[in-house]
Amino acid sequence: MSEPATNPAATSFPAPTISLPLGLEILRTYSGALICLEILFGGLVWILVASSNVPVPLLQGWVMFISVTAFLLSSTYLAVLITGLADRINTDWNFLDVVYHFSALLFYFAAFVLEAATTAANGGAHVKLTPNSTETVMCITYPRGNIFTILDERQYSINVAATIFAFVATLCYGCSMFMGFKRWRM
């Protein structure tokens, strides 16, 4: 008997290319640790911006969108690696890793700059509520520039922390992209 003809559609896909370990072993690598840090710091940015009551929605709305989207995508990516689904999906995971982290780096850098701009637009303004004979008067001292935001001390502190964590998350995405690029080129 002759062997049955092979289906060309079934044999045209290459085997998945991934140089990272799958399962819980991914957490023992630098790349796995960086993905966990991306999720951690991205979640902190998301929580901090949301807890500041989003005083500048035009700028901070984009920061929220980027931090939530990157948080969900990084969590999904880590889940695919931990569950071993990456071995079943035929694609070049090393290239996908580089493309994802490059895109996330660009968007997160933009989010970091917008969050820093929101914080810096306060311009060192100090908002003090001064009791008057009939009502409370808000005195703003030291506004500089044409554009400034009015943040109370709590919002300003939260936005400073969100800016720092956005910068750290940007660094994590940059390091992940660099490491992914090295894996992709090997």
Judged against a pLDDT cut of 60, whether residue 124 lies above it is answered with no
Burial of 8 (0-12, 13-18, 19+ CB in 10 A): exposed
How confident is the model over 163-171, as a mean pLDDT? 96
- What pLDDT is attached to residue 134? 59
Each residue of 10-52: pLDDT tens digit?
555 555 577 777 888 888 989 899 999 999 999 999 999 999 8
Q: Where are the beta strands (DSSP E) in 39-176?
A: 126-131, 136-141
Each residue of 92-106: pLDDT tens digit?
888 899 999 999 999
Share of the chain above pLDDT 70, in %: 77
Tokens linked to 102: 């490059």
- What pLDDT is attached to residue 80? 92
Can you tell me the distance from the alpha carbon of 39 to that of 143, in angstroms, rounded to the nearest whole number? 36
Tokens linked to 6: 């092979």
Mean pLDDT of the chain: 82
**Range of weakest confidence among 79-83, 130-134, 180-184:** 130-134
Q: Where are the beta strands (DSSP E) in the chain?
A: 126-131, 136-141
